[in-house]
Amino acid sequence: MNFLQFMRVDVGNVMATVGQQQQITSQTLDTIKGYVPKVQAAWVGDDATEFAADVARKIVPAMLELIAAIGGINLNLTKATNIVDQADSQAKSMAEDLGSTFGAI
């Protein structure tokens, strides 16, 4: 019997939702990047150049960091699930060994 037997569906649902959020965040970044040339075309001067530089220097790295952090959630959920699966396997093996020992008495 698997410890996560009842939770596995919930963990899968959470991972799917997290994946969707990561995709939405990536799409938001693409939208922001798409606005920069439009703003620069309408806004002429040094301020327009500074705006584009600020987006590239501040917003883009922050958004990339957010996307990576969101992706890390699924990575860690996968690692945690694997650890629980290994622990369940070891516990099952130990219980079977103990059963064999008591059966031999």
1 part of a folded domain: no
Nearest to 87 by CA among 7, 8, 1, 11: 1
Look at the pTM and tell me if it is higher than 0.95. no
98 has a pLDDT exceeding 90: no
Q: What's residue 53's pLDDT?
A: 94
Domain range for 95: 8-103
Phi, psi of 29 (to 5 degrees): -60, -45
Q: What is the CATH number of the domain that holds 90?
A: 1.10.287
Number of structural domains in the chain:
1
32 part of a folded domain: yes
71 part of a folded domain: yes
38 part of a folded domain: yes
- The model's pLDDT over 23-61, given as tens digits with 9 standing for 90+, comes to 999 999 999 999 999 998 898 888 889 999 999 999 999
- The model's pLDDT over 57-92, given as tens digits with 9 standing for 90+, comes to 999 999 999 999 999 999 999 998 888 888 888 888
3 part of a folded domain: no
